[in-house]
Structure 1
Amino acid sequence: MKMDLVQQQGLKLNMTQELQQAISLLQYSSADLLSYVRELTLENPLIEVKESRQSPFRQSRTSSNKQSFIENTVKEKTNLRDHLRHQLIDFSLSKQDRSCLELLINALDSNGYIKDSLEELALIMNIDEEVLESKLYFLQSLEPAGVGARSLQECILLQLRRLKTRNELAETIICDHFRLFAEKSWKELSKILKIKINQIQEIHEIIKQLEPRPGLKYEVDESTYVTADITIKEVNGAWHIMYNDEIIPQLMVHDPSVASGSFTIDKEAKSYYAKNVTQGKWLVRAIEQRKETMINVMNEILKRQSDFLIKGKSALKPLTLKDIADTLDIHESTVSRTVKDKFVQTPHGLMNMKSFFSTKLSEDQGDVSASSVKLRLKEVIDSENKKKPLSDQKIANTLKTLYDIDISRRTVTKYREQLTIPTSSIRKEY
């Protein structure tokens, strides 16, 4: 075998650290970007924040109507476990009691349920299961009602027992006939209990007001409220895109080596200043580039989704990330990062930028998007006769008749499940 030395010419993209950071910056939400900027300003003394009345860095001490951006968008987060621990302060508990309650609190899942068996948990502390069960009953007496339940049935029952006006029939049904009630076998249930179906319906309405997952609201990240990155407004008959510059503060970069005048700066200080000046200038450019990319992508989205501005979400057309990428001559992943966790204030409410994208239903359906079909499907179900809810096939027939949307029963079932809408038998009211 003969070996030759061959020289070839080619192009290769070397991704610098700055380019990697710029890509990361593009996909940050406004809250994440704000946190990143705050960290850099603490590390880099040459980056100065231009404070304004609305600046996220400005802490106003005036009236509540003139609170700072941070005060309006950030609040302390209390998770479920901390919320429960805080309630224990008011009780005089032994060391073992507190250890048992801490064990149970740590065993809670995000919904506020305990899925581990008490037998297994008791073995961890080497105590009797009955002792731990008594502490579970104590935990279940705390807020929110239903916390510490081991099943949906127990969760609902715990909440019924905490109502100001107890309903014995409701408690009996949930305690002794939960399966029949959940499956809506109400005729059979009415015969067993010798009650009218409308009484079961009334209890159903009461239970609908309860919280099946009491811990969930504590697990949602409430450290920041959603703030629109972009606002779409109509001005003199034309639609305008306005970027929310108040989300991220304006930055200035100082270079002491330039402003030193006749003063001599040693080599080490010059190196330090140069590094921080470069970092500061990069940050300013990256934030500006992020803004420009977001505006360009949003402009192109609106060109494709102009009907949405007038008619609303039902008028959204099929649109993919590739459509926008090809038009703007950028990579599809760039569009994906641009729309990630970004929000737009529209004439039809606050929307995630990603919600403007939807696949085409099928080739013979023209400009009908899957998201618009889901919207129509939900409208059909919302307006149905609750005493005679529509089957999936009847929903498909209705969509064809009312909106000329031709989809199969199987597709209706798939979309209904994606919308977490139950079957017709469960939706039925008596």
Structure 2
Amino acid sequence: MGKILLKNGVIVNEGVILENDILIEDDLIVKIAKDISDADATVIDVKGMHILPGIIDDQVHFREPGLIHKGTIATESRAALAGGITTFMEQPNTTPQTTTIEKLEEKFAIAENSAFANYSFLFGGTNDNLEELKRLDKNACSGIKLFLGSSTGNMLVDDEKVIESIFSNTEMVISVHCEDETTIRENLAKYKEQYGDNIPIQYHPIIRSEEACYLSSSRAIALAKKTGARLHVFHVSTGKETNLFRNDIPLEQKKITAEVCIHHLWFSDADYADKGNLIKWNPAVKTAKDREQLWDALLDDRIDVIATDHAPHLLEEKNNVYTKAPSGGPLVQHALPAMLEKVKEGRIKLEKMVQKMCHNPAILFQIEKRGFIREGYYADIVVADLNNSWTVTKENIAYKCKWSPFEDLTFSSKVVHTIINGHLGFTNGKFSEIRNAKRLTFNRP
């Protein structure tokens, strides 16, 4: 691959912002210093721009296999590069589900031949695959995923004894979707009786309520404390839940961690009137007060990671009546521009954003040589221009589904270059046709 020399950029890494050059050789960062020169390197002058570690997204749904009309590993990982995401962890609720080691390896084989970003997968736990889960090598993939509330793919795990057995029988990170199914079903029945299938979307956060989220997440956390399991709570959506998490110890020492998604930090229930089903997610986007409390918990380190929960559907699917409209939406291309908007608003410091989107996922999942700009680490790097505005339009949306909840919004920052393992995968709005992604490796003794 040769050498790339990034000159005159402002590096944001490990809590520090400073000007330095970066020399990349093949797939590694080999030198970080002032005034590097190398006659053999391709020089890219990034003066006035910010250099960040490649973003690690710990929760995406790329829909392959089985749901490829919505997206594929190729299309969605390519879109991820346009958003500065160089590593993704894909979820098991595909068709077929990733609930056997055989199906997991089949997914890795698909990604090896099609992924544009570094990849790993979560292995799905079910009510009846405990023995298969026990056979899984702890370094084989990102971790275990349990749906403790129903979502796309119908992988609900609702047997308490099974859940406790899973918690007791793996050293891997167990990532959970927490919503109490009984509460949701009772709420849904009430509104279906009143409205039939055409329930107004503003009732979504009342059906998939604060109570449903808190009941499930608090129960999972209590069980993790009882069993000693390593628990990671995906897409926390309520202020009440944030009080379940600690910020008095370093991330490396936490046994229970939390993630928040871009949409829960950006939207509130006031946006349903304009956006409708386009912002129908599970868990639901809730109140402005919940959003404020999520921000508070993110900034004071009760919440550890920012992710996307990228989950594309076709527009015609999203435009169905409430009970038939699937939950989820595409986000990987626009996650970093959205967060940089919050940086410019003064909501979060750039260093803190990098911590939550780059460093912490690497630490939490014990990923080898990624998530930081360090000599000897893989050259996964994003160059962003914080003073380059652009508007999201159908023409520049890279998702296969060709829509975004951010459509017609103007962002003030742009991803200019995304380097993946030393290769320019995305530069000045254009994608490389060369795939240079790698399967993630982990350091779990």
Fold in common (TM above 0.5): no
TM range, smaller chain: under 0.3
- The structure whose Rg is larger is 1
| Greater helix fraction, Structure 1 or Structure 2 | 1
| TM-score of the aligned structures, taking structure 2 as reference length | 0.24
| TM-score of the aligned structures, taking structure 1 as reference length | 0.24
Which of structures 1 and 2 has the larger relative contact order (alpha carbons within 8 angstroms, sep 6+)? 2
